[in-house]
Structure 1
Amino acid sequence: MKKSLLTLLGVAAMSTTALAADVKPALVYGTGGKFDKSFNEAAFNGAEKFKKETGIAYRDFEPTGDTQGEQAIRNFASRGFNPVIAVSFAWTSAIEKVAAEFPDTKFVIVDAVVDKPNVRSVVYKEEEGSFLVGTLAGLASKTGKVGFVGGMDIPLIRKFECGYEQGARSVKSDIEVFQNMTGTTGAAWNDPVRGGELTKNQIDQGADVIYAAAGATGLGVLQTAADNKKLSIGVDSNQNHLHPGSVLTSMVKRVDLAVYNGFSDVKADKFTAGVLALGVKEDGVAAAVDENNKALITPEMQAALDKAKEGIIAGTVKVHDYTTDNACPK
């Protein structure tokens, strides 16, 4: 009996080891760098949380161009990594191709939809989170003029801007909103100098709150706003701590959850393919309030924020999604 029990324990231990060996996570970032303090860094934080909790290491790669992204995704899949998570709409075509080549590998793509039986597509209702921070911007502005600096000029970033504009107009109907996009290539995500220049131009026109949705380029937006004693709004990660007292809030987009849950679900054999759309109701997007910005948020602003959030969850506040018709209501 003792021998039999030892044998069973040995088999159980081997089974656990085999299961753990099946989880060999990999992560491919978007261009702009792992430590952009924004989108990519949120993904990194999700992977680190998984590693800390499970003790399972992961591999990651920082592409500097579009071709490197596809090469990295294919390389990870061919070497038996599972799951492989691609953090950027830029890797849509790569995931479509590689997922078909490796049907037994699980893939996750963030910010795009790929219809494959082994792919989970995680998208966000950025318009909802941007509406919330736009509400705060509209109430915080003393000039009646606010700004937006986007990264790459694509419908996804226009979606941020449109939600922001709707939020600002919901509390101040005649507010003026300036907007600029940094560029039309992947380099637009990693140009803080240009981000600063665009911000200064908007400030010179009277903007006193500027929202950055531009990856590492946004660091230049936040810095320039702080230097000119204006308010800024961070994005993706909570950036309130970067310039306490100057960053009004951050539109937090839980990219970390997409990565953490992707790794964890494969480990637990609970992975499901299909589309996950995360908005305010799902805690996928939010306006960050913490010790770094609470002095900037007046009771009136907090009440307006709470009301907007409740309205979105209840369905009484409907935020237009720019990507449905490539237009923003005025």
Structure 2
Amino acid sequence: MTLRRAVIIWFVLLLLAVTVFLASLATGSVTLSVAQLLRVCFGDEDSVAAQIVHTLRIPRAVAGFACGALLSVAGALLQILLRNPLADPYVLGVSGGAASFALGAMMLSLPTLYINLCAFAGALAAIMILLFATRRTWLQGASHVASSRLLLTGVVLATGWGALIILLMTLAPERALRGMVFWLVGDLSSAGHGWFALIVLAGVLVVSLSVATQLNVLLRGEATAYALGVAVVPLRRRIYWLASLATAAAVSTAGSVGFIGLVVPHGVRLLLGNDQRLLLPAAALAGGALTMMADLVARTVVAPVQLPLGAITALLGVPVFLWLLASERR
């Protein structure tokens, strides 16, 4: 993969993301013309259109882009950490912890801000529990042993979180069930704090790109990484923390949006290869664009009714993933 081709792919993905972003600002229950959108963007702040764009659509589009980008980068990192191409951001139970705390806040009828804070706290709690349960695993000499134990522990913890979620939904009042279901499958209708996720995305990208060369060496095998001076155990921990924090920020903003963290890294890998210096920025752009596109479909296809974002990403993701697998075999 040449740098020139990588830059072209980055530019196309950036153009796609900007196009979908502008479409998200113009399209909805109230459709804005190009002239109205330009007036809103260049100083008209008193009209109804400006209120709609600044209060509702820009925060939602920013949150959608940031969440999709975070999930894509987290999926790419976890596929390296676990040496498993089917790994996704939810495989270690981070989303289960976030969901349990968020649903508990919904049962108490707390405001949206506190629900998001509880979700982030739950994700951090899930991260710490997994770290404590696998504290010896990080020192394993064979990466496949460490990866298998980490994956197995994460699956068991995710099952436990799932049981707690079922109990919470069973005990929840009926007035809270609809919001709970939408949150569990992903929803951006109340995502008013997407800037936090965008800041986390910037931090995750900076740190992950700073170790991208080491990740490339690690992909060639642990023995090669040790021979070339890579500190494998600290690098594993850093990957885990980066992927977990990215997932925590995404889930606390938009709930559990499925398939983005699994499908996008595969698609980008087919285009750019496995060089993490090229793959991670492209995964962020592609994941953000795809999530904004899915949210645009979710809120316009049967407007004014809004569909769950996670259902749309799954419907889009299944055929795309099957096509990617077929293309990879060819």
Structures share a fold, TM > 0.5?
no
Greater percentage in helix = 2
> Which structure carries more relative contact order (alpha carbon 8 Å, separation 6+)?
2
Greater percentage in strand = 1
Greater radius of gyration (CA): 1
